[in-house]
Amino acid sequence: MSGIKYLKLLIPVIFMVFLQTCNQNRKVVGLQIEEKPVVELRHVKLRGKLRVVTDYNSTNYFVYKGHTMGFQYEMLEALANHLGVRLELTVNNDLVSAFSSLEQGDVDLLGMNLAVTTDRMEKFNFTIPHSQSSQVLIQRKPTTDSTGFIRSQSDLSGKRVHVQKGSSFEERLQLLSEELDMPIDIVAVEMLEVEELISMVASGEIDYTIADENVAMVNSTYYPGIEFKTSVSFPQNLAWALRKGANHLTHDVNMWLMEFQKTKEYRRIYRRYFKSSRIEQMIQSEYFTVKSGKISDYDDLLKEKAKKINWDWRLLAALISQESNFNPKAQSWVGAFGLMQLMPETAYRYDVDSLSSPIENVDAGVRHLKYLKGKLDETLLDKTDELKFLLASYNVGLGHVLDARRLAEKNGKNPDQWKGSVDYYLLNKSKPEFFNDPVVKYGYCRGSEPYQYVIKILERYNNYQNIVLLN
């Protein structure tokens, strides 16, 4: 066959290869285009929320007597308030997964006690330190037989130590192991948080783990049989992590953190969780959710009653926490009483009074919620925001919420949409130009109260979901 004929046969093949290469390149370009952009402060403010992952433990984030607390939680709340945005907090005690979510742009910040290491700095931005702590070995206190008790770093030679996978503890042990005669048997554990490993040491399931000294100190109150005197590192800087390239946001957070650490508020927060004897009392309390799993004495009652309105019981707990702080004898200046703070006229409708039992009070409150939901079902065409309408109605009365819907509709807004529509008109219903409008039937109300009520209950519910098991 002549060269020209060969060329004629090859041209279509070359053309097909060229097309396929172009398509592959187009796919690569497409993937690059779809990559999530780096988020800066202007994006956070435009979105109206700061997306943060933290870890759930005895110091960073927990529930005590129904109240959300924690060193990281209070710091992050202060940051969000400074930025003028809402804190959207999720829990992930798996460090590898948490770092992955940050790297992919699913969150803006990891609000944890993160040691700033060389390897981590290559992949992420870090803030200035929010605190410092040494890494210490957790082991059981010696009995009459002190075999296996570690008194110095060199004693770790050949020993098996369990640590959280992806943690700076794992990295530190790897470096230390290289200096010893026999390497340390490092077991990197997935899906277990540091405090769970401390618990396993205390119970004898494992012999050793590593933790930050301040965390070890707090946990030694709950596990008096553990010892943490052997240090495995010098004091390390602990900081928050942001996505690589988010330089402006990192700078903004650093500027705030630098000033915040000079305040009495920061010193108060730090002392509360790492220097106060009160944290020891909280940890030993049955209301310390990290250990007990309880929100209140009424958890079983709420689980039973919440079924009547198809609610998650933790949502009902969040409402009661807001209403009465779980005090069955609570009474407001306007006469509302009991766990669910029933107004006298509402209580009369359900045949209860201030002398009724907590069971009767909660039952009446749940029945009233069911009644309000029935009315809203008849009113709302779009049920997406019904829960927010329901919570506001429970707080301020259905009439005022319906007034806010009418104002929204009159002004060209969606009367079935809460945020940026009905919530705005309810918030402003304390102003004459709003409550004197002809479409308003129920007059003045202090709209800031139901407006904040909805926000606080849903935030508390989110925290309960993060921390407390459903069943």
**Which residues contact residue 428 at a Cβ distance below 8 angstroms, ignoring those fewer than 6 apart?**
434, 447
73 φ/ψ angles, rounded to the nearest 5 degrees: -60, -50
Residue 106: partners with Cβ closer than 8 Å, 6 or more residues away: 36, 51
Collapsing DSSP states into helix, strand and coil, what is residue 253? helix
**b/e for 145-166, b at 16 or more Cβ within 10 A?**
eeeeebeebeebeebebbbbbb
Helix and strand tally (H, E) in the chain?
A: 21, 13
Tally of CB atoms within 10 A around 94: 18
Rounded CA-CA distance 106/100 in Å is 9
The strand ranges marked E within 216-261 are 226-227, 236-243
Task: Mark whether 323 is an active-site residue.
Answer: yes
Measure the CA–CA gap between 284 and 196, rounded to whole angstroms.
16
> b vs e for 276-297, b when ≥16 Cβ sit within 10 Å of the residue's Cβ?
eeebeebbeeebbbbbeebbbe
Cβ neighbour number for residue 76 with a 10 Å cutoff: 21
Alpha-carbon distance of 456 to 306, in angstroms, equals 19
Tokens representing 97 are 């997964």
* Cα–Cα distance, 253 to 82 (Å, whole number): 10
From 323, 360, 409, 459, the catalytic residue = 323
Residue 93, CA distances (Å) to 54, 97, 189, 227 in order: 8, 8, 12, 24
Residue by residue, DSSP assigns 392-460 as HHHHH-HHHHHHHHHHHHHTT--TT-IIIIIHHHHHTTTSHHHHTSTT-SS----THHHHHHHHHHHHH
The bridge status of strand 135-140 relative to strand 131-133 is unpaired
Closest CA to 455 of 102, 90, 48, 140: 48
Identity (one letter) of the amino acid at 115? A
* Beta bridge partners of residue 54, listed in sequence order: 91
Residue 325 dihedral angles phi and psi, to the nearest 5°:
55, 35
Positions marked catalytic: 323
